[in-house]
Amino acid sequence: MFKGIIPPVVIFFDQQGEIDFDLNKKHMDYLIDSGVDGVLLLGSSSEFSSLTLSEKKTIFR
């Protein structure tokens, strides 16, 4: 069983609708530096059904 603080993470996009990798990295770094125990990706704000398979793989990398 998972324990600790595991926040759902929203994926940020730029003005053109593309994934903003720089902003997403900054946000993840902030969460990690703040002491979370894990993150929940692609499941909190319908990103899973909205992104292509390639985009999902890129997010996890």
Q: List, as one string, the DSSP characters of the chain.
A: ---S---EEPPPB-TTSSB-HHHHHHHHHHHHHTT-S--EESSSSSHHHHS-HHHHHHHH-
Does 36 map to a domain? yes
Domain count, the chain: 1
* Residue span of the structural domain in which 15 resides: 8-60
Of 2 and 16, the one with more pLDDT: 16
Does 53 map to a domain? yes
Look at residue 44 in the predicted model and tell me its pLDDT. Answer: 67
Look at residue 28 in the predicted model and tell me its pLDDT. Answer: 93
Does 3 map to a domain? no
Share of residues in the chain with pLDDT > 70 (%): 98
Does 56 map to a domain? yes
Instruction: Report pTM.
Output: 0.76
pLDDT band at 29; cut points 50, 70, 90: very high
Does 32 map to a domain? yes
Look at residue 36 in the predicted model and tell me its pLDDT. Answer: 96
Does 46 map to a domain? yes
